[in-house]
Structure 1
Amino acid sequence: MSRLRQALATLVALAVAALAFVAWAPVPAVDDREAAAPLAPDAAQAARGAQLALAGNCAGCHTERGGAPYAGGRGIETPFGTVVAGNLTPDPATGLGRWTAGEFRRALQHGVSRDGRLLVPAFPYTSFTQVTRDDADALWAHLRSLPPVQQAKRPHALRWPYGSDLALRVWRALYFRPGTTPADPAQSAEWNRGAYLVRGLGHCEACHARRDALGGIRGAAALQGGRLPQGWYAPSLTDATEAGVADWPIDEVVRLLRTGLSEHGTAQGPMAEVVVRSTQHLAEADLRAVAVYLRSLPVTTSRPGRSGARDPQVMARGQALYADLCRGCHGDEGQGAPGVYPALAGSRMVTMADTTNLLRVITQGGFAPATAANPRPYGMPPFDLGHADLAALMTWLRATWGHDASPVSEVQVLTAR
């Protein structure tokens, strides 16, 4: 036993030493040839950068509610505290006015600020490392063309030690491998473009991934669904019972990204904001490329827990609540009204194993995004129901119209709230 303990202790010591060596590796330097002067953008490059910024939804994080676009100041909740987005306008004192193109590219692709500080991974450089040099420079040209806004950045409010240099170095050693992924010669140019947008510039895994206790993503966890600090669940993009689209027509995937609506569902919560700020503005070719890539993802299927007998009193209460609050819009058979009220019969949001989003829509309201193609969407008001009523309504919805998903308990409702 003592030899085993000694061997384990030696292995742990070696692992710590190796991790420390990697963690204290020097950060990449900016090419000296680029350090003296910023890139001189032209109008065409800036215009292309504006489209790339929409694809990356840069304004989504770097714009405070009611604030100037890209001027930062928005607090972003994480499990480790609040991160405050920086000012991306070319203001020399509080923004990127003194940065060079090389420094911006290093921040984007390596997560290192102008002064050498490591950026927190809430800034998704783990995805942006895929962005090509040409696209990084076009983004830079767009940001340089913006009107400068003076708005000093508030400090992050992260719990110790998550914002420390050592913690960030260890995190990078565990989870970050810089560099672009070469195009897959076995796939079409359209597929490769979609992969680049989803895995890189669009950073879809920032929301749609399972993260471990340190907020990292490993291998197969990417795009397989994850809880968001805002209290929503970003469903798996590979799971046929959640948000997988392998069996959808390409046009329906494009329609959802363009308008927020499809025959199969409606964008809600944080995804509705992504549609408004980002995907509705993308070129048709890019939307189709994203659709092609998403439809090609390996299909997984998680089966919601099932139960035979359900409490008759709970079911009766749920049915009465539906008749009183929901039937007028969603119909006797949960069929909804095409383009107006989403169908509940067959809805994956209703039946998926994680009931977070169903609860959020009932208690906070359901609102499709207002897009150019659907400027005045219908919405659902929030309902202030007690825990028992919520559990009853959700349980009834998940067991009706052919659904056979597990019931929802009052304890689950309380925890989710």
Structure 2
Amino acid sequence: MLSAKPFRRLGQTILLSLGVLALGVVWDNWGDMVLPQKDAPALSGMTTEAQIEQGRYLALAGNCMACHTSLGGPALAGGRRIDTPFGGVYSSNLTPDPQTGLGRWDAQDFWQALHLGRSKGGRLLTPAFPYNHTSVIAREDSDAIFAWLNTQAPVAQPQPAHSLVWPVGTQAALAVWRSMYFEPSPFVVDKQQSAQWNRGAYLVEGLGHCAACHSPRNALGASGAVNDLSGGLMPVVNWYAPDLTRDAETGLASTPLPEIVRLLRTGASASAQTNGPMGEVVQHSLQHLSPNDLQAMAVYLQSRAQNAPEQALQSPRQPARISLQVANHGTKVYERHCLQCHGEKGEGINTPDGKVAYPSLAGNRAVLMKDPTNLVQVLLYGGYGPVTKGHPRPFGMPPFVLELDDRDISAVLTHLRTQWGNQASEVTPLQVNRIRAAQGH
């Protein structure tokens, strides 16, 4: 007869291990709250106009307004729904209202939120707030942003309850997720690089939180490190954020620095235009940054692209083998809807002062991208660049979501990707259908 003792001991061992693991998760997320508090870093004392202005500038650099303002609502009062694969998250109220905003917070509470992703009182924040990136922000800059927020008009607007699927939004689930994927990343100066390079790295990895879009996410929603710029499909919004370290996808390694700066500042350069989510970033954030900061970001991004490990050499692309029926159909759709703006040979049109009105499609990196998601998105919903001081009246492309079906779109995109020296794979009706369905159309 088998003894029950070994099984009892095994059960006790498992329970003990789970208990130790649970204690480790709790300590990892709240352990510092039960320890004697270290003295907070010295603050700057009385708030000055210079500090407030610095905070305003940094809040623009971080694009705080975009997420913390609901459509048509008061600025920074929160309430904007941010959709995730696990449900909706509503942004918090950043105005100094004492009941629903930050009115009862101090600079230390705000710093803890940025650095640890934890609200006043210890509540863990959802990672829709990119606290892995805000943990990069220096204490001086955190205090400046908080000082500026305190100058805003208080708005009494409670944060709506998140609509995340259970148990994703629970504190226990957040604690486990954070123990697996979150580690504060204070910025460390690379002494082998210039001050300009380090400033660019600080902006890209912290306030710019570029990797929040330009790095892949796993099944649990975790993105790469704050400096991971390897590209990936953005969940829910369904745009592909290109790999910023691959010249084939962005041209950052080979584009002259002034043109990179121009793209960041205006949304358009001689060889590229921003659209979709990146267009919004230029519209609401990047165009407001100083020339020095934009130059620093360009220097850092170009350095990353130039120093990335060489991609494995691929055999030359072979022209896609497409049927005569698809080729003829694509040609007809192009002639009917595209030729007038993009030219008979995909050469595009420039304005008299040399600016791009309608981009060339021949040799266009966006056209040749392995993942055709962005091409389908632009054709469905239109292509409109941001309105900026340096590009006040961008030309645009109308949406064709109601005019062209999946077969039309796949045929014309295949036409673009196989003409004028372009050599890229065919776009199929099934690919178009999946992208259209993901957007609910």
When normalised by structure 2's length, the TM-score is 0.87
* Matched residue, 1:24: 26
Q: Distance in 2 between matches of 1:375 and 1:138?
A: 31
Q: Distance in 2 between matches of 1:18 and 1:272?
A: 47
CA displacement, residues 171-201 of structure 1 (integer Å, 9 cap, x when unaligned): 1111111141310000000000000001111
Using the TM superposition, name which of 299-308 and 196-205 deviates more. Answer: 299-308
Using the TM superposition, name which of 231-240 and 272-281 deviates more. Answer: 231-240
* Matched residue, 1:331: 343
- The reply to whether residue 63 of structure 1 matches residue 82 of structure 2 is no
Q: Distance in 1 between matches of 2:243 and 2:194?
A: 24
CA 1:14–1:410: 2 relative to 1, 3 Å = farther
* Matched residue, 2:435: 416
Q: Distance in 1 between matches of 2:25 and 2:50?
A: 40
Given the alignment, which residue of 295, 307, 313 partners 2:325? Answer: 313
Alignment of 1:6-405 (within 5 A): 20-25=22-27, 26-27=29-30, 28-29=32-33, 40-219=46-225, 222-228=228-234, 229-297=236-304, 298-299=307-308, 301=311, 308-338=320-350, 339-383=356-400, 384-405=403-424
Residue type of the alignment partner of 2:412: L
Q: Percent identity?
A: 47
CA displacement, residues 35-57 of structure 1 (integer Å, 9 cap, x when unaligned): 9x997522110100111011111
Quick check: 1:259–1:369 contact (8 Å CA) kept in 2? yes
CA displacement, residues 234-263 of structure 1 (integer Å, 9 cap, x when unaligned): 111112222251111110110001000011
CA 1:324–1:113: 2 relative to 1, 3 Å = same
* Matched residue, 2:353: none
Residue type of the alignment partner of 1:377: P
CA 1:179–1:395: 2 relative to 1, 3 Å = closer
Larger radius of gyration: 2
CA displacement, residues 308-328 of structure 1 (integer Å, 9 cap, x when unaligned): 421111011111111110010
Q: Distance in 2 between matches of 1:16 and 1:311?
A: 59
When normalised by structure 1's length, the TM-score is 0.92
CA 1:231–1:45: 2 relative to 1, 3 Å = same
Residue type of the alignment partner of 1:393: V
Partner SS for 1:49: helix
Quick check: 1:38–1:101 contact (8 Å CA) kept in 2? no
CA 1:382–1:179: 2 relative to 1, 3 Å = closer
Q: Distance in 2 between matches of 1:408 and 1:42?
A: 57
Q: Distance in 1 between matches of 2:25 and 2:299?
A: 38
Quick check: 1:39–1:100 contact (8 Å CA) kept in 2? no
Quick check: 1:240–1:301 contact (8 Å CA) kept in 2? no
How far is 1:222 from its partner? 2.0
Q: Distance in 2 between matches of 1:366 and 1:253?
A: 20
Quick check: 1:19–1:170 contact (8 Å CA) kept in 2? no
Gaps of 5+ in 1: 1-5
Partner SS for 2:65: helix
CA 1:135–1:410: 2 relative to 1, 3 Å = same
Partner SS for 1:323: helix
